A = this chain, B = another copy of it.
Amino acid sequence: MASSTTSRPAFSRWLSASNDITQQFLSIGAQPDFISLAGGLPAAEFYPNAAISEAMERALSRWGSKALEYGPVEGFLPLRQHIAERMSRQAVRSFTTDNVLLTVGAMQGLDLLGKVLIDPHERVVAQFPTYVGALDAWRPRSPSYQALDWDVDGATTADALRGAKFIYTVPNYSNPTGALVSIAARQALLEKAMEAGIWLVEDDPYLALQLDGTAVPSMLELHGRMEKTGSYQGPVIYLGTLSKSLVPGLRVGWAIASPDMIQALVLAKQSADLSGSMLTQALALELLEAGLEEAHVPEIVRHYRSRRDALCAAAATELGEWFEWEMPPGGMFVWMRSRHPAIDTDALYGFALSEKVAFVPGSAFDPAGKLRSAMRVNFTRNAPAVLEEGIARLAVATRRYLGSNC
């Protein structure tokens, strides 16, 4: 945080605890010669530019001025309908437009959730390590955190949940760990959340990026099966997005939840930006109706799988002495945990930057900033040869760091 050059009033307290790590990653990508394994960015070379350009033409001629207006705060109605129908098919139960709010990426859903649920020092039970964007989103609301234990019979009991506002999870190919949570653990958590009477946030940006194995039903689906009729009234707040399965630049995401929660989120969205862009929402509808997501996903999954494999193979050779990891069955990240007690990934980060390679240090995923024995490494953004070069640089950086350390 740059300090003020004047004697003007201080910035809000939460800013001093903030960091610009995401801002850095979003701009580091532009530096030539730099290899960023940091962000959670899709591979831009596969974006379906031509199909998007055609869909945009169709959207503008189909909707005309309607696509250029302020929209309803809830978002473009035909897209809300499309999302509701899609989720109804997937979950084999009915969701209505009252269950759907369109957001500026799933990230805005996190921001709005913080606004409607967190008063200062209230408790959030969050899967640990925790997506840095969720911590960023909620920092202005000053919550306290408790780590979630995903184990079916694990330490997170309904008692531990009671008094918390909500549980935060990324069960599909988690950010940052890449882990896929089993159906048994999902079912157990859902039951605990219901017993404790709290909200259960299911952040699901990586759903489409299934690289191996079989998919597991979402907690929204699992709960939706219990109460089949009428508008969904359950405790699950599901966040989806087109940013990973299509392109991020539309900034189109959605929240699916009970109508009372949707209406609270709508009031928060009204106070955040009045409405999203009807133009990009109308474009998203056109893309979905044309089946572009179904056509595009298998192509990127094929590439992402070979990129993951290339990165993990290079890392096994170059970094295996110092780090260990599980091969993630999907998503965008490998979570590398240090095997060497002297490694502090915050300190390693500086050495990496000077070798022109970036990752995200584990501390970014810890509300207390203390997790310094791991790092998140992205495999989707760069071609296999670039990933291999990135891992090689990371090995040089680690060797230099450990040399300087002894």
- Beta-carbon contact of B108 and A272 below 8 Å: yes
Task: Specify which of B67, B243, B270 is in contact with A23 (CB 8 Å cutoff).
Answer: B270
Range for the number of chain A residues in contact with chain B: 35 or more
Residue interface mask A268-281, B partner, CB < 8 A = 1 = 10111111111110
- Beta-carbon contact of A5 and B258 below 8 Å: yes
Verify if A47 is at the interface (C-beta below 8 Å from B): yes
Residue interface mask A247-291, B partner, CB < 8 A = 1 = 111110000001110011011101111111111100100000000
A residues 323-342 near B (Cβ < 8 Å) are none
Verify if A69 is at the interface (C-beta below 8 Å from B): yes
Minimum distance in angstroms from A87 CB to a CB of chain B: 20
In the bound complex, residues from chain B placing their C-beta under 8 Å from that of A247 are: 68-69
Minimum distance in angstroms from A232 CB to a CB of chain B: 12
Residue interface mask A208-251, B partner, CB < 8 A = 1 = 00000000000000000000000001010000000100011111
A164 to B10, CA, bound (A): 11
A136 to B73, CA, bound (A): 13
Most-contacted residue by chain B among A2, A64, A66, A166 (CB, 10 A):
A2
Minimum distance in angstroms from A250 CB to a CB of chain B: 6
In the bound complex, residues from chain B placing their C-beta under 8 Å from that of A4 are: 260
A residues 61-102 near B (Cβ < 8 Å) are 61, 64-74
* Nearest CB in chain B to that of A274: its residue: B107
Verify if A52 is at the interface (C-beta below 8 Å from B): yes
Verify if A184 is at the interface (C-beta below 8 Å from B): no
In the bound complex, residues from chain B placing their C-beta under 8 Å from that of A404 are: none
Minimum distance in angstroms from A249 CB to a CB of chain B: 4
In the bound complex, residues from chain B placing their C-beta under 8 Å from that of A39 are: 70
A211 to B13, CA, bound (A): 43
Task: Specify which of B11, B198, B259 is in contact with A264 (CB 8 Å cutoff).
Answer: B11
In the bound complex, residues from chain B placing their C-beta under 8 Å from that of A12 are: 115-119, 141
A283 to B22, CA, bound (A): 25
A65 to B52, CA, bound (A): 10
Contacts A9-B199, A271-B136, A273-B111 known; A57 to B67 CB distance under 8 Å? no
17 extra interface residue pairs, beta carbon distance < 8 Å, beyond A8-B199, A44-B69, A47-B65: A1-B264, A9-B166, A22-B73, A22-B274, A23-B267, A26-B70, A27-B72, A30-B72, A53-B60, A68-B249, A70-B249, A108-B273, A111-B273, A136-B271, A249-B279, A277-B277, A279-B280
